[in-house]
Structure 1
Amino acid sequence: MNGAIGNERDGAAGKVLQWRVLIANAWGGNRGDEAMLNTLNRLLKSITGEVSVSVLPFRNEDLDIDADMRVERSRIGEYWYAEIPRGMHSALNARVPRKLARIVTTTLHRAGSLADESLVRPYDLILSAPQGPTLGDMYSAKERIVEPLRLAQRVGKPYMILAVSAGPFEASTASDGLVQSVLQGASRIVVREEVSLGHLRQKFPSLANVEAAIDIVYASRWSLTGKPEPERRAYEDFMADIGGDAVGVCISMTPARKPTNPFDREAYLRQFCALMDHVLSRSAGRLLLFPHLAFDMPALEQIRAAVSQPQRVSILPPNLDSDFQRDAISRTGFFISSRYHPTIFAIQAGVPFMCIKNQFKVEGMMEKIGLGAIPSCWQDESLDRFKDTFDACWRERDGIRSQVRVASEQAGSIASIYREVLARAHREWLGRMTDGDMTDVRAVDAA
């Protein structure tokens, strides 16, 4: 890629040194998480052509990502501590005195770490994958998220946490000491919004290595280069039929604000269908529904069947990856987003939008780049609120388009920190190699 540094050679041995990077805790089944992984990979490849990128999924699922990343599927579940049931953490927190709970948790954690340090030994840099607020107590996953990083800490490998949301945190849990130790050992922690920065600083006030930026997707535009030609032709034919005045739509079929909140799927679908009928009555083009999550298709098909004008509703083929989704959003005239990354895709493409907020992270992102005053609503608000928000955004769509284009440039500038951080990590690795630290580096014969 353009801007890549040339081959790193050990002059005495005539070898090419390869920088080996592991992206741990990767999520799939979500076009936003996949776009973040692709962006991270492309930034690494723009820094040096001599880099290998491996991905460790957080759970056993497909990752529809760039083909030049190696997915370490054989590692699923091998680090034992990650398989401790969530209920055990809850039981420790609720029934065991705090100091004893921390001792028990630490013992379990270290037992798993000692058993599987080989997970991180082959790599020169370990990154925790960009993602939502799993580093917190919203999803009860933070102990498992920090485990690969704790392994890196134990064997002396540099590690970073980039482009994540964080928090909120409970007042006190058995794993607080472990989590704080891992966070303090990170070379860099970059969260996506100020609210996440606030959560971390409130919970761990001694952290000095954390800062706020924005989502990493803003650091690189999408690309259809290299996509299979039959897939591209089918996509172009599909989009030509849709036209340029379509309203793109992404629904969220997860609870609003917190994943544990009540959520009546059928009631919400009825409300959303009513909103779609309202949109069809106000607009002249097609509705293009986007399957952003792997399980969205049944809901989208139900919407298409239930609206008053189903002939005006199309669904983007679910096999199209995150690059195609971003490109398709750029070709719509207006976008309705109920999720974080589709909102980012619309902003990056300069498309006016209505945001139905699902979690704090989207609100923090919009405020960060000056879009906080654009009319929006929360997913758990009424149909009338949905309709009023759409009407306000639709009326002002030309003005919103202008604001979004300015915000997109600002977001791209903020997101440039990610390449800078990674380039610095690469320079530091080269420095260690130059100083003769070759004990854990594989050199490959130059071609």
Structure 2
Amino acid sequence: MKITVTNTALLNAGDAAIMAGTDAILRDVFGSDITVELRDQQAEDSRAAYCDYRVEETLYGALESLPDDTRRPGLVRLMTAAALWRTPLGNLARRFVPPRVRAVLDGYAESDLIVSAGGTYLVPHYRIRPKLLELLTARLMRRPYVLFTQSLGPFPRDRILLRAIFAGAHAVLVRDSRSVEHLLDLGVRGDRIAICADAAFALAGRPTPVPEARNKLRIGISVRDWPHGGSDADGAMQNYVSAVAKLVRHLTEGSGAEVTFVSTCQGAGSYWTDDSAVADRVVAEIGRENADRVQVDRSFRSPQQLMDHLAGYDMYVSTRMHGAILALCAGVPVLPIAYEFKTNELFKRLGMEEIAQDLTSISGTALCRTCRMILDNRAAYRERIREILPDLRESAYAAGQAVAIGLERNR
């Protein structure tokens, strides 16, 4: 059995964690001998970073390689060829698309299942059409496809296209009830939707190093740029940087803690963003007197390497949701800073919604107060995490059964 997973972004360690979990889930339900091929937005660099995966370019990436003046007619030829690919006219259709596009379509035609990777990309502030192209092509080629566990919506635009793509999916897996509401509002049938925990929770239970005994608190922090903060996005971003700077001063001056900025999006030079740039803004604001207790970690790490690293912290203040998930999988208390509803929904599911802070309206005082509360009760938080992780892991693996049921129902 060949499974193609498209819309991956392995240079983001959070997306790589989703992929690692997805791979484990698919092999659990379909057998360890399946062939899994990834279609990644930065295939060459991702292939170099993760040599255990078979990584190829996306269909949109192949289209982008065409000269500007041929892309639009190339898209029309692509859609026509995809619809004819598995018909008696398929050989003729292959002649009308460029070789790189043809190679992707051949890969799709050979696939028994196409999986659109989990994560968050079908939301209003991202370009969704490049992601939808992969799924629309799968539907035109009459290949079974599913959308793996993600948060999505609302959908103010492209509703007809989205409705057609969701209607053709064998299963749509989501992480939260708000995503279900967005799908139902679009007219997606409820029997095609399943709620499961994020695929990265499949990594829970893997061994991590035992933290060394030490006298000083060790705190990890992930930050990120967020240009979608409304009419005063720059002001909201500066307020966020100042709030985190206040927290760092509180930790270093009041608790003598060592603070390290470490994230899922650092150290991959060709990736579109690097969170260390925002970390540098925070460090510049805290002042020189605290600099010897603060460092910016610029290392690129795989999901397992990052989980092992996070296991050594007493607490992780995480703006990146998958940084938070990997810390939780390592048993570390997390103070989440939410920039999208997915983080609030996750911590509501954990029964910890009261500790989530909103990036666009964050208060440095509230951030410090919540951080102190978690640190003062970190043994209880660690125990709570130990209690809930098995259920989250089981829920993540339930996605595999939902996919199998969807395939059987539409066979």
TM-score (norm 2): 0.79
Whether 1:155 aligns to 2:134 is no
Query: Cα deviations across residues 26-63 of structure 1 (Å, max 9, x unaligned)?
Result: 12432111111122123334442322211112356733
Aligned to 1:54: 37
Query: Cα deviations across residues 143-184 of structure 1 (Å, max 9, x unaligned)?
Result: 3222212212222211110111110111xx3x3222212111
Q: Distance in 1 between matches of 2:191 and 2:58?
A: 35
Once the two structures are TM-superposed, the CA of residue 76 in structure 1 deviates from its matched residue by 5.2
What is the root-mean-square deviation of aligned Cα atoms in Å? 3.6
Q: Distance in 1 between matches of 2:26 and 2:68?
A: 33
- In structure 1, stretches of 5+ residues that fail to align are 1-18, 89-105, 226-235, 433-447
Whether 1:254 aligns to 2:226 is yes
Whether 1:326 aligns to 2:317 is no
Task: Write the letter of the residue equivalent to 1:26.
Answer: T
Q: Distance in 1 between matches of 2:182 and 2:67?
A: 26
Aligned to 2:246: 274
Aligned to 1:118: 106
Q: Distance in 1 between matches of 2:216 and 2:330?
A: 14
SS of equivalent to 1:131: coil
Once the two structures are TM-superposed, the CA of residue 109 in structure 1 deviates from its matched residue by 8.3
Q: Percent identity?
A: 20
Once the two structures are TM-superposed, the CA of residue 202 in structure 1 deviates from its matched residue by 1.5
Whether 1:135 aligns to 2:122 is yes
8 Å contact kept, 1:184–1:207: no
Whether 1:354 aligns to 2:335 is yes
Q: Distance in 2 between matches of 1:399 and 1:241?
A: 19
Once the two structures are TM-superposed, the CA of residue 82 in structure 1 deviates from its matched residue by 12
Q: Distance in 2 between matches of 1:309 and 1:279?
A: 10
8 Å contact kept, 1:138–1:168: no
Q: Distance in 2 between matches of 1:277 and 1:326?
A: 26
Whether 1:77 aligns to 2:64 is no
SS of equivalent to 1:387: helix
Task: Write the letter of the residue equivalent to 1:271.
Answer: A
Q: Distance in 1 between matches of 2:164 and 2:216?
A: 52
Of 19, 28, 31, the match for 1:37: 19
Q: Kindly tell me: are residues 224 and 368 of structure 1, through their superposed partners in 2, closer, same or farther at Cα, counting changes over 3 Å?
A: closer
Whether 1:378 aligns to 2:349 is no
Aligned to 1:408: 389
Task: Write the letter of the residue equivalent to 2:51.
Answer: A
- In structure 2, stretches of 5+ residues that fail to align are 84-96, 267-273
Aligned to 1:263: 234
Aligned length: 374
Of 297, 300, 305, the match for 2:276: 297
Q: Distance in 1 between matches of 2:249 and 2:78?
A: 52
Q: Kindly tell me: are residues 350 and 82 of structure 1, through their superposed partners in 2, closer, same or farther at Cα, counting changes over 3 Å?
A: farther
Q: Distance in 1 between matches of 2:225 and 2:171?
A: 34
Q: Distance in 2 between matches of 1:257 and 1:214?
A: 27
Aligned to 2:176: 193
Aligned to 1:438: none
Q: Distance in 2 between matches of 1:199 and 1:83?
A: 37
Q: Distance in 1 between matches of 2:390 and 2:200?
A: 13
Query: Cα deviations across residues 398-443 of structure 1 (Å, max 9, x unaligned)?
Result: 32222222222221222121233456689x69xx9xxxxxxxxxxx
Query: Cα deviations across residues 335-394 of structure 1 (Å, max 9, x unaligned)?
Result: 111121112122222222212222100111111232224x23211222222222222323
Q: Distance in 1 between matches of 2:168 and 2:58?
A: 27
Q: Distance in 1 between matches of 2:21 and 2:291?
A: 36
Q: Kindly tell me: are residues 399 and 188 of structure 1, through their superposed partners in 2, closer, same or farther at Cα, counting changes over 3 Å?
A: same
Q: Kindly tell me: are residues 368 and 247 of structure 1, through their superposed partners in 2, closer, same or farther at Cα, counting changes over 3 Å?
A: same
SS of equivalent to 1:135: coil
Q: Distance in 2 between matches of 1:60 and 1:67?
A: 11
Aligned to 1:202: 185
Task: Write the letter of the residue equivalent to 1:377.
Answer: Q
Q: Kindly tell me: are residues 159 and 345 of structure 1, through their superposed partners in 2, closer, same or farther at Cα, counting changes over 3 Å?
A: same
Q: Distance in 2 between matches of 1:211 and 1:389?
A: 33
Q: Distance in 1 between matches of 2:242 and 2:232?
A: 19
Q: Kindly tell me: are residues 263 and 118 of structure 1, through their superposed partners in 2, closer, same or farther at Cα, counting changes over 3 Å?
A: farther
8 Å contact kept, 1:120–1:148: no
Q: Distance in 2 between matches of 1:298 and 1:146?
A: 31
Q: Kindly tell me: are residues 78 and 270 of structure 1, through their superposed partners in 2, closer, same or farther at Cα, counting changes over 3 Å?
A: same
Q: Kindly tell me: are residues 336 and 387 of structure 1, through their superposed partners in 2, closer, same or farther at Cα, counting changes over 3 Å?
A: same
8 Å contact kept, 1:82–1:144: no
8 Å contact kept, 1:28–1:61: no
Q: How does 1:340-351 map to 2 (within 5 A)?
A: 340-351=321-332
Q: Distance in 2 between matches of 1:121 and 1:261?
A: 47
Q: Distance in 1 between matches of 2:180 and 2:379?
A: 33
SS of equivalent to 1:292: coil
